Amino acid sequence: MIEIRFHGRGGQGAVTAAQILAKAAFYDGKFCQAFPFFGVERRGAPVMAFTRIDDKKITLRCQIYEPDYVIVQDATLLESVNVVEGLKKDGAVVINTVKDDLDLGYKTYTIDATGIALDVLGVPIVNTAMVGAFAGVTGIVSIESVKKAILDTFKGKLGEKNAKAAEVAYNEMLKKYG
């Protein structure tokens, strides 16, 4: 079973990102779960969301305390939240930052998702780009399924743009780490 935790700020779409990732895994023929952390959901506050992916039926219903992957949508969260809390030793972090020399004590993949989102969407909302980046570094879900999940979640032009953002992030990660 693969467990993923998303860290974001309220309004950045962390919960939607968790759902898109779960949907993408579903389209890949896997079992999946997505759910948010129930806390103070207000715009800008640190929030969490979770995704579980497995080849067999998932019977667990609890929160994820020891994730395999952590996806951080905003690097300034490092100052207020311990994002690697409970992360497994061989786990990895995918983080949205322009810096290249972050040392979190774990394998870290960096991507300038804000730049991609501003380029493609015109707004600094990075959730779809982060899911694309995650697909790029881990290969746990295919980019086709991610795009399908995004088009299914957002209707019309918004879906197309977000799918594009995910694809750009995916390709960038392949180029950087592939």
Binding site for other proteins (CB under 8 A): 9, 39-40, 44-46, 74-76, 79-80, 97-99, 114-115, 118, 124
Cβ 65 to other proteins, closest distance in Å?
16
Of 63 and 76, CB closest to other proteins: 76
Measuring CA to CA, how many Å separate 23 from each of 34, 38, 152?
9, 21, 9
| Closest by CA position to 121, among listed 81, 85, 167 | 167
- Min dist CB 59 to other proteins, Å, is 29
Distance (Å, whole) CA 134 – CA 150 = 14
Tokens representing residue 52 in the block: 């579980």
CB of 135 to other proteins, least distance (A): 24
Q: Which CB, 58 or 102, lies closer to other proteins? A: 102
Q: Smaller CB distance to other proteins: residue 90 or 100?
A: 100
- For 78-92, the three-class secondary structure string (H helix, E strand, C coil) is HHHCCCCCCCCCCCE
